[in-house]
Amino acid sequence: MAPRSGERRASARRGGRRGAGRSGESTDGRIRLLRVLAVAAFLLVGGRAIALASSSSDLTSIAAGQQRSTHTLPAHRGTIFDRDGHELAVGELRQTVYATPYLIEDAYAAAGDLCRVLRIHSAAEQQRIVKVLSDRDSGFVFVARKVPPAFADRAVDLGIPGVGSYPEEKRVYPMRGVGAQVVGFAGLDNTGLAGVEMMCEEALHGSDGVETVLRDPSGRTLKVLQDRPSVPGASVRLTIDADIQLTAEDVLRRTVSRFGAKSGTAVVLDPQSGEVLAMVNVPMVADNVFGQQPAYERNRAVTDAYEPGSIFKVVTIAGALSDGLTTPKRKYRLAPTIKVADRVIHEAHARGTVTYTTREILVHSSNVGAVTIGIDMGKEGLTKWVKEFGFGEKTGIDFPGEAAGIVPERWSGSTIGNLPMGQGIAVTPLQMASAFAVLANHGVWVKPHLVAQTGTHEASEPDQRRVVSVRVARQMMSMLTDAVAEGTGTEAQIPGYKVAGKTGTAQKPLPDGSGYSTYAYVASFVGMVPAGHPRLVVLVAIDEPHPIWGGVVAAPAVKEIATFALTHLEIAP
């Protein structure tokens, strides 16, 4: 039976409501999904913004680091002069070429162009430049240090991004190695590494400055942000006389070559002022280029000790005169040899039994005579005078690395036979020259020194002390004058001048300490001139010459050096 019309209408209304409900549910789901997506997008964008904001300071720092660079402004290094103002060491203006590798696209091409204009031909150096320019993480590398300014200008003119230059000084030595072991040298960074350069580093170096520079991406300077100027170093004036130094070096070089020796040392000293006028070491250091012959790069006149031999007899005899144990005219009957403990001591040249005065013992350099006087003095007396003359202690000269020498502390039975004639004790050439300067300066020791002035400040007066009396000093000078006039030092005579001096021919001890060499000697001579009023003390010591005699090898060298110095300083006969 068919429904009635009213029922059909009610049923239709109920069906419509059910369809509308299903449609509304679908719409609500889409809206919720859109809301979720919107929130997610917001969170994503916001998180990214926060991340960017948090890293902005780092990015700014990186950018600033790429544009700014801080450099040291090296101070002008002070000049080293000789006593008369000749330049021994000076700073010369150069340029240092640098690069910013992360700005360079083709390291190989850039390195090739830079090596070409900088005239770098070394394969190893070319490879180094390629390597540093290829380091993309680096913001600064050296291409070439201290090149001529014209070379640096050509490198910058290549227009390679990040390549620039700044001024630096190169230490140069205008006299091409004169006094090299005394002057020393300064390294690549202008820091003193040896000699006066090292000793006076604080004064010579000055105070470095600083600058911070802002550059564009191509390396061009836009602005100097900070600038602390450098303060130049002070100059240093030495007591060295370049003319005497040059002459002494020439004489010593020829002497070492002529006699086939290993090396030589010379000292020229003013006995009244203590000023060192020359200090020479051969082999020399050419052009102050150190690092090639380390064994000969020391200033051996100060740093190395040797057994002096017969020149030490002046200490023995001066001490005996001072203690009243002998006089210049006292006579000694001397056999050809003398036995001390287990050792028999001979003369340098065979002779029979003689009678010598103290004067003749010194004039003829008698070993037996010196030992006889030393035995009279005894251990206590000898030790006292060794110390009085300054042996076993540094002189205090203003130079690094000075040696004190070696004085025997434990005596054996034969020490009393060795020491009086200069064996069993080690001295530096400077100590030996200073001991002779005592006699030349009326018995007064004056501290030797090398620096006369630093900046505007002149060196203070050197320390002085009396060692022997004026009377003893005069007696010794008279005897040493005879030693040159008629004894072992005749080869040191200078026409028109009286010369006082003493020869030395010292056996070298064996390396194992078992005794003395039968063929290796040090030949030496110390001269004082003019003998009546000495202005110069000149010492020359030659290591392992052939022949071995100090009077033959070293005395002529002293004569030649002293002759020039007397004329140069206008010292009258």
pLDDT at 65 over 50: no
Question: CA 155, 157, 161, 165 torsion: positive or negative?
Answer: positive
Domains plus CATH for the chain? 66-117+166-236 (3.90.1310.10), 242-568 (3.40.710.10)
Helix (H, G, I), strand (E, B) or coil at 113: helix
Residue 511: its pLDDT value, please? 87
| Per-residue model confidence as pLDDT tens digits over 309-319 | 999 999 999 99
Rounded to the nearest integer, the mean pLDDT of the chain is 89
pLDDT of residue 282: 96
Which pLDDT tens digit goes with each residue over 187-197?
A: 988 899 999 99
Give which of 373, 381, 377 is closest to 331, Cα–Cα. Answer: 373
Over pLDDT 90: what percentage of the chain? Answer: 73
Residue 51: is its pLDDT beyond 60? no
Hey, CA dihedral for 328, 331, 333, 339, is it positive or negative? negative
At 25 the pLDDT is 54
Q: What are phi and psi of 284, to 5 degrees?
A: -95, 170
* Segment 98-107, tens digit of pLDDT: 999 999 989 9
Which region among 52-66, 86-100, 199-213, 525-539 has the lowest average model confidence (pLDDT)? 52-66
Mean pLDDT of all residues in 299-310: 96
Structural contact between residues 475 and 328, judged by C-beta atoms closer than 8 angstroms: yes
Integer Cα distance of 413 and 466 in angstroms:
32
Cβ atoms 366, 358 nearer than 8 A: no
Task: Express as a percent the part of the chain with pLDDT over 70.
Answer: 87
Tell me how far the alpha carbon of residue 257 is from its chain's centroid: 26
pLDDT of residue 47 exceeding 90, the answer is: no
Structure token pair of residue 138:
């680096």
Confidence of residue 436 (pLDDT cuts 50, 70, 90): very high
Q: So what's the pLDDT on residue 225?
A: 74
Q: Please, how many CA atoms are within 13 Å of residue 48, restricted to the half-sphere of its CB?
A: 5
Two structure tokens written together for 472 = 């003893």
For position 49, what pLDDT does the model report?
52
Q: Which residues are catalytically annotated?
A: 310
Q: Is the preceding peptide bond at 448 cis, omega within 30 degrees of 0?
A: no
- Dist CA 2 CA 400 (whole Å): 134
Mean pLDDT computed over 367-395:
97
Q: pTM to 2 decimals?
A: 0.82
For residue 40, the model assigns a pLDDT of 59
The pLDDT confidence band at residue 26, using thresholds 50, 70 and 90, is: low
Whether the pLDDT of residue 505 is over 80: the answer is: yes
CB atoms within 10 A of CB 30: 9
Least confident of 219-233, 371-385, 403-417: 219-233
